[in-house]
Amino acid sequence: MLMASMLRELEHFVVIASVGTFTAAARRVHLSQPALTASVQRLEQAVGATLLRRGRQGAELTAAGQAFLPRAQAALAAFRDGQRAVAEIEGLSAGQVRLGGGATACTYLLPPLLARFRRRRPSIGLVLREGTTTELEAAVEDGTLDLAVISLDKRQRFDERHQRFGRFTDDELIVVAAPSAEPLPTAWITFTPGSPTRALLLERVPQAQLVMELSSIAAVKGNVRAGIGLALISRAAVAADLAHGSLVEVPQRFTPLRRRLAIRHRGRQRLPPAAAALLEVLAAA
C-alpha cells in the first residue's frame, strides 16, 4: 500500500509539472484540488523539501522540484517497464514495443525492418511515433517510448559503455530539383525547425533563402517537383523519384552528406523483453 501511494504521489507531481496548474492536473487525474494538494504535500514531506509553488502563472517548480522531476519521471518509467516485463514473462500479454523515429526513418528506413520483425513475432504489438530528435529523446527518458531512431550531431558519440546509443545506419543526404528547372532555382524548401536535415542545410548553406518550411517529406518533394526550389533530403526518400525521373540530383560541393542514425534507449538491461527483441533486429540492420 505504501509503495502504491508513493507511486500515485509521484504521478500527481509529474502531471502538475507537465500541465502547469493544480486545476488542470486535478481534472487529468480525476481528483479534487484539495485531494491533489494533500498528495503533493505528502510527497514533499517524504522528500523533505517544497517541490511546487503556486504563483500567478500557475504551479511553478522550485529548485528542489526541478532537481526532483527527472528522477520522478525515471522512477515511474522504471516501474512501468517492470510491470510490462513481468506481464510478458508471465504470459499475461504478448508484449508491445513503442518505437519512435524521424520522418525519414518512419517512412523509408524502418518499415521493412518492422515487417521482418512482425513476421518473426506476430503476437507482439508495435506502436510507431514520428517526432523530432528532441521530442523522441524526451519520450525515451520519460518512458513513453522504449526505443527511438535519432540523428547524432557531431559532438555525440555512440555510447558503448552505458549502452544507451546503439549504431543503426548512416543516412545519405543529397540535393534534388525538378527535372525541368532551368535555370536552377536558388530558393530552398526545407523542414520545420527541429529537423536535423534543416539544421545540416543551414550549417552548409548559412545564407540559404528558405521559401517553404514543411513538416512532411511528401510535401517537400511535391513542391520541389513543381519547380519552386531545391531541397536537401535523404536519398532513401527520393530513390523512386530519381528512378522515375520526377526529380533529379543536383550535386553540390557539400553533398552527399552523411548523418549518423542511432538507436536511443535507456539501457539494454531496462528494456522489456519485446523491446529488447526489436533492438536486436534494428542493431543487425
- What is the per-residue pLDDT across 6-39, written as a single tens digit (0 to 9) for each? 888 998 999 998 888 888 888 888 889 889 889 9
How far apart CA 116 and CA 111 sit, in angstroms, is 9
Of residues 147 and 166, more confidently modeled:
147
Q: Enumerate the domain spans of the chain.
A: 2-78, 87-170+261-283, 171-258
Q: How much is the pLDDT for 188?
A: 97
Residue 213 — φ and ψ, nearest 5°? -125, 110
| CATH class of residue range 87-170+261-283 | alpha beta
Cis peptide before 122 (omega within 30 of 0): no
Residue 155 — φ and ψ, nearest 5°? -85, -20
Q: Where does the pLDDT of residue 1 fall: very low under 50, low under 70, confident under 90, or very high at 90 and above?
A: low
Q: Does position 159 have pLDDT exceeding 50, yes or no? A: yes
Q: What is the DSSP string of 79-106?
A: HHHHHHHHHHHHTSS--EEEEEE-HHII
How far apart CA 254 and CA 109 sit, in angstroms, is 23
Architecture, CATH, for domain 171-258: 3-Layer(aba) Sandwich (3.40)
The closest of 195, 183, 181, 182 to 232, measured between CA atoms, is 195
How far apart CA 278 and CA 125 sit, in angstroms, is 11
Q: Are 61 and 52 in contact (CB under 8 A)?
A: yes
- In our burial notation (b when 16+ CB lie closer than 10 A, e otherwise), range 263-273 reads bbbbeeebbbe
- When the candidates are 1.10.10.10, 1.10.3720.10, 3.40.630.10, 3.40.50.2300, the CATH number that belongs to 2-78 is 1.10.10.10
Q: How much is the pLDDT for 92?
A: 42
- Asked if the domains at 2-78 and 171-258 fall in one CATH topology, the answer is no
Q: Does position 156 have pLDDT exceeding 80, yes or no? A: no
